[in-house]
Structure 1
Amino acid sequence: MRDLLVLGTASAVPTRHRNHNGYLLRWDGHGLLFDPGDGTQRQLTLAGAAAHDLTWLCITHFHGDHCLGVPGVVQRIARDGVRHPVQAAFPASGARYWERLRHAAVFHDTDVIREQPVSGETMRLDTGDAPFTLTARRLNHPVQAYGYRLEEPDGRTMLPDELAARGVHGPLVGELQRRGQVTAPGGRTVTLEECSRPRPGQKAAFIMDTGLCDAVHALADGADLLIIESTFLDEDLAHAEANGHLTAGQAGRVAAAAGVRRLVLTHFSGRYDPGAEPRFAEQAAAAYSGDIVVARDLARVPVPPRRTP
């Protein structure tokens, strides 16, 4: 399963309709929780997710709407007895804030949280044997902030008819995948290219508080799913630029230039009431003709089906 559970969509201040930030990207048994704001523990429960679903905790920066849910999430991991490692990525420059959040109250602690502080302009995180890579890039915000990009390696899709035509079956198929060629029962050498086609790896990007910068475009490039802040409408561009944020139109232009397949707009300023939602989509659509989702709390957004070569 590959999908996004939207746990909250507000910016600095939660509203009656929008919780603080929180985004759970579920990817083949892994759960990457991005920017848990205040109330995330409850939102996980309402969305039908559990602490056991979490394998990553990724913080873009230490403004409260992106991290005040960390204490509850960590304590829930401990309380529920999660035994697998949970990697924690966060800006190294905010380590003191991480420590305060990580140990904000008295509880029976857990040793499964594995810290991976992020520094520099670009950093590739240690994902072990996970079926993806995870890269952080420095964004443009008044405090140090990072966006994250998940990438599945390219692979190949086996073609059953081509395998059968060449007499390759059973254990030979696995050997062909591992070695790139096998000797078929008739003595013929069969190559992987003859019996498969390229399978492009899928990509997802998560971009929160930032002004436009090169890192935004690099993170979004070719993403199947782009989750990106659109804090303001275009008429409030000056306010967005002054505070290191994006507008809906800017998010749409980023998605169009990057060839994104599904665009998820989120992190909405409390100055707009729910009736303004269509305007975010309209302004993004002025530049981007793909699928646009205006995020709502507790919504589920599937990762688009795999691209065909």
Structure 2
Amino acid sequence: MEITFLGTSAMVPTSERNHSALFIKYKNQGLLIDCGEGTQRQFKQFKIPLTKITKIFITHWHGDHTLGLPGLLQTLSASEYSNKENLLEIYGPKGTKKYFDLMIGAFPFDCKLDIKVKEINKGKIIENKDIIIEAFPLEHSVQTIGYKIIEKDRIRIDTKAVKKLGIPEGPLLGKLQENKSITYKGKKISPKNTTYVVKGKKIGIISDTVQCKNCLEIAKDTDLLICEATFMENEKDKAASYKHLTIKQAALIAHTSETKKLVLTHFSQRYKDKSELENEAKDVYDDVVLAFDGMKIKL
């Protein structure tokens, strides 16, 4: 699983930071979380083909998270985009269908894409053989969703064990990997003795919000927590007014939930010295990184 931070600024972009967007590549799936203004250029800047996108997840419909969507879709349409399902799914909170139609209807667009827009609230929204994606309502000035991506545990063959038993490569190993017992040379062989489990990774994504119980639900047991941190603690009244988190509040969420690694993003343009942001976070939680445009993390 590879995560690329395409945009890490808050409402106002800077010369170094674009509006919010995050791309997660997992096997043949490409998940775009938010699509702020200029996102398609960020794909080119960091050498990720737009055609790798298979699903788009909108956290909320503020412009700094969505204004890149029309241009990106127009480019995909012109490029004869297609994927395995030949369908582009867009997920978002209540109101997504209305806002999407208004946005796309605002200019001439001969859309050649097969797009399905789904409004979501809480719970499991996607499950396939590899991953589960869950949605959690957050508390912002508009309807907002946070996401949790859960990779399923994988069964792997214990090569030393099967070699010792003399089991050849082929369908028998496939059955063991499916957690099924096999019979080989008259002997029943259990997957318990020939396989092991690789624990799946968990990623939490907390977009614009104040502190709420669902922040902890998203962060719980995660290997990586990506969390907005718009203001420093000395601006906590302003953060509360605009319904955002402070650096310290984000770090407290990570500390309380015992996430393994915290990545902060969505910084106000007022902060030029990022070391002071990092220091404030590390007063509460040690394993923290400040995201920057183009940063990649592999899990």
TM-score w.r.t. length of structure 1: 0.90
2:254 counterpart letter in structure 1? A
2:95 counterpart letter in structure 1? S
What is the CA distance between 1:184 and its match in structure 2? 2.2
Task: Output the CA distance in 2 between the equivalents of 1:27 and 1:9.
Answer: 21
* Aligned: 1:263 with 2:271: no
Query: Which structure 2 residues correspond to residues 33-182 of structure 1 after superposition, within 5 A?
Result: 33-84=32-83, 85-119=87-121, 122-127=122-127, 129=128, 131-170=130-169, 171-182=171-182
Task: Output the CA distance in 1 between the equivalents of 2:176 and 2:8.
Answer: 47
- Contact map agreement 1:234 1:248 (CA 8 A) in 2: yes
Query: Which residue of structure 2 lines up, in the alignment, with residue 307 of structure 1?
Result: none
Task: Output the CA distance in 2 between the equivalents of 1:222 and 1:179.
Answer: 25
Q: Secondary structure at the match of 1:126?
A: strand
What is the CA distance between 1:70 and its match in structure 2? 0.9
Task: Output the CA distance in 2 between the equivalents of 1:176 and 1:218.
Answer: 34
What is the CA distance between 1:99 and its match in structure 2? 1.3
Query: Which residue of structure 1 lines up, in the alignment, with residue 201 of structure 2?
Result: 202
CA deviation profile, 1:211-254 (whole Å, cap 9, x unmatched): 11111111111222221101111111121122211111111121
What is the CA distance between 1:130 and its match in structure 2? 5.9
- Contact map agreement 1:205 1:226 (CA 8 A) in 2: yes
Q: Secondary structure at the match of 1:157?
A: strand
Instruction: Report the count of equivalent residues.
Output: 295
Identity %: 30
* Aligned: 1:295 with 2:291: yes
Query: Which residue of structure 2 lines up, in the alignment, with residue 306 of structure 1?
Result: none
Task: Output the CA distance in 2 between the equivalents of 1:28 and 1:103.
Answer: 34
- Contact map agreement 2:126 2:134 (CA 8 A) in 1: no
Task: Output the CA distance in 2 between the equivalents of 1:268 and 1:126.
Answer: 30
Task: Output the CA distance in 2 between the equivalents of 1:153 and 1:297.
Answer: 29
1:294 counterpart letter in structure 2? L
Q: Secondary structure at the match of 1:14?
A: coil
Task: Output the CA distance in 1 between the equivalents of 2:212 and 2:81.
Answer: 38
Task: Output the CA distance in 2 between the equivalents of 1:53 and 1:124.
Answer: 23
What is the CA distance between 1:92 and its match in structure 2? 2.1
Task: Output the CA distance in 1 between the equivalents of 2:106 and 2:25.
Answer: 27
- Contact map agreement 1:157 1:199 (CA 8 A) in 2: yes
Task: Output the CA distance in 1 between the equivalents of 2:289 and 2:5.
Answer: 11
Flag as ranges the 4+ runs of structure 1 deviating above 4 A: none
Unaligned runs of 5+ in 2: none
* Aligned: 1:231 with 2:221: no
- Say which is worse superposed, 174-183 or 19-28, in terms of deviation: 174-183
TM-score w.r.t. length of structure 2: 0.93
Task: Output the CA distance in 1 between the equivalents of 2:56 and 2:12.
Answer: 22
- Contact map agreement 1:20 1:39 (CA 8 A) in 2: yes
Q: Secondary structure at the match of 1:246?
A: coil
- Contact map agreement 1:224 1:261 (CA 8 A) in 2: yes
- Contact map agreement 1:30 1:55 (CA 8 A) in 2: yes
Structure 1 pair 76–130 and aligned structure 2 pair: CA distance change class (3 A): farther
2:222 counterpart letter in structure 1? A
2:275 counterpart letter in structure 1? P
Q: Secondary structure at the match of 1:261?
A: coil
Which of 272, 279, 295 is equivalent to 1:282?
Answer: 279
Task: Output the CA distance in 1 between the equivalents of 2:223 and 2:26.
Answer: 13
- Say which is worse superposed, 83-92 or 175-184, in terms of deviation: 175-184
1:80 counterpart letter in structure 2? S
Q: Secondary structure at the match of 2:35?
A: coil
* Root mean square deviation, CA, Å: 1.6
